[in-house]
Amino acid sequence: MNETHPISIAIDGPSGAGKSTLARQLASALHFLYVDTGAIYRTIAYYAYANHLDPSDEAAVLAALPDIRIELCHDTEGLQRMILNGEDVTDAIRLPQISQYASVVSAYPGVRAFLLEMQRDFARKGSVIMDGRDIGTTVFPDAELKIFVTASPEIRARRRYDELQAKGEEGSYEEILENVKERDRIDTSRTVSPLRKADDAIELDNSHMTISEQKEWLATQFRKAAGAE
């Protein structure tokens, strides 16, 4: 891997698999730009939710796109913040109901086309690590390193439940598990950019791995791709 030009690392996987945590840590270690593309789609979904749009009404969602201005910035801790028409919606887009909206609106070709160029533009400006559900297959099919992160639905639901509990937010494990399974069904069966592992991606099932173990594993994969091992 020639580090004299911008490098793209794509991290794909289902909802709640821990893509963002791994990508953020590796980006910090390598001093790469980190972009959580799922958050970008969630921002579109939040706009639809906040403006009482029916997510299944594709025409209404597409008609709203010209009124949506999305900005991405990072706070002092390096965490990505999503700005929607001047308002920080970083926390709001993580509400459970937004997940269902995001599954629906992100399947529309018009929405994906609206955001595709925005995502690719980040990579033109410098080395970047992006995580999402079609980064390695659609957005960056030629990325130097592709990782597909996964875990069982039960593990992913438990992680999300614990996260909500830690924040003092309501939510039942059973409801979250059903949301995770439904999200998987929608993401894998949609006709536009379905969730799937790229043929040249390296799979990581982190169901029973600590964050530290995952971080070490990912760093090893980068060194191999860079020819350091």
Distance CA 185, CA 152 (A): 14
Strand partners, 10: 130, 146
Phi first, then psi: give them for residue 172, nearest 5 degrees.
Answer: -100, 150
Tokens of 139: 């957005």
How, if at all, do strands 202-205 and 145-150 pair?
parallel
Distance CA 108, CA 212 (A): 37
Q: What pLDDT is stored for residue 229 in this prediction? A: 55
Q: What DSSP element (H or E) covers 74?
A: strand 70-74
- Report pLDDT digits (tens) over 92-125: 998 888 988 998 998 899 999 899 888 888 778 7
Closest CA to 32 of 133, 142, 122, 148: 122
- Report pLDDT digits (tens) over 135-179: 888 888 889 999 999 999 999 999 989 988 898 887 899 999 998
Amino acid at 20: S
The answer to whether 179 and 99 have CB atoms below 8 angstroms apart is yes
How, if at all, do strands 128-132 and 33-36 pair?
parallel
